[in-house]
Structure 1
Amino acid sequence: MMQFKGVTVDKAANVYFDGKVTSRTVYFEDGSKKTLGIMMPGEYEFSTELKEEMDITAGSLEYKLQDGDWQTIDGSGVFYVPANESFQLKVQTVVDYCCSYLAE
């Protein structure tokens, strides 16, 4: 899906790692939410509360789930992070992403 309709968007950005990762939260009529963001090259670690779907729409990165091996996405791809876990990223180029927060 390239476009969302009937949503509310937070004007203020979510800013992480001294501005190297930013996103905006998008709220849907059904109560679900997503974040749309950009990551600059660098290494990052994030923690989750809910299960997340990370949809990489452009860029190159490597990701490692808590008990997994390093995996590569070059261009576009999707990975899932379980609730209450952390994951690591090695971002090689500017990455455009959409993170969906999923009910278990």
Structure 2
Amino acid sequence: MLKVNEYFGGSVKSIALENEEGTATIGVMEAGEYEFGTATIELMTITSGSLDVLLPGETDWKVFETGSTFRVEKDVRFKVKAAGQVAYYCLYI
């Protein structure tokens, strides 16, 4: 069963699925700055656009372009900034 998620007043939307790789979401976000929390390790791949990411414990923002992946550990918070619309695939492990 697919599950639709909506955050930040509709500025971030995703569809969750479960398959042989595990649980994942495919989503989009409008331009803006957002903070997320994790319950599992997350591998996020940018599929369209560019995303600035501030990972826990870091002081410098890192830019992730289309095709790049970053890892976020379990039970932490991280920030992202999108200058334009961004699409992503997030695998929860």
Q: Same fold (TM over 0.5)?
A: yes
Distance in 1 (CA, whole Å) between partners of 2:64 and 2:16 is 23
CA distance 1:29–1:78, change in 2 (3 Å): closer
**What's the C-alpha RMSD, in Å, of the aligned pairs?**
1.3
Structure 2: gaps spanning 5 or more residues = none
Pair member with larger Rg: 1
**TM-score normalised by structure 1 residue count:** 0.82
Larger RCO, structure (CA 8 Å, separation 6 or more): 2
Alignment-mate amino acid for residue 17 of structure 2: V
Which of 33, 39, 43 pairs up with 2:33? 43
TM-score (norm 2): 0.92
**Moved >2 Å (runs of 4+):** none
CA deviations 1:53-80 (Å, max 9, x no partner) are 0011110110011111210023331100
Count how many residue pairs are aligned between Structure 1 and Structure 2: 92
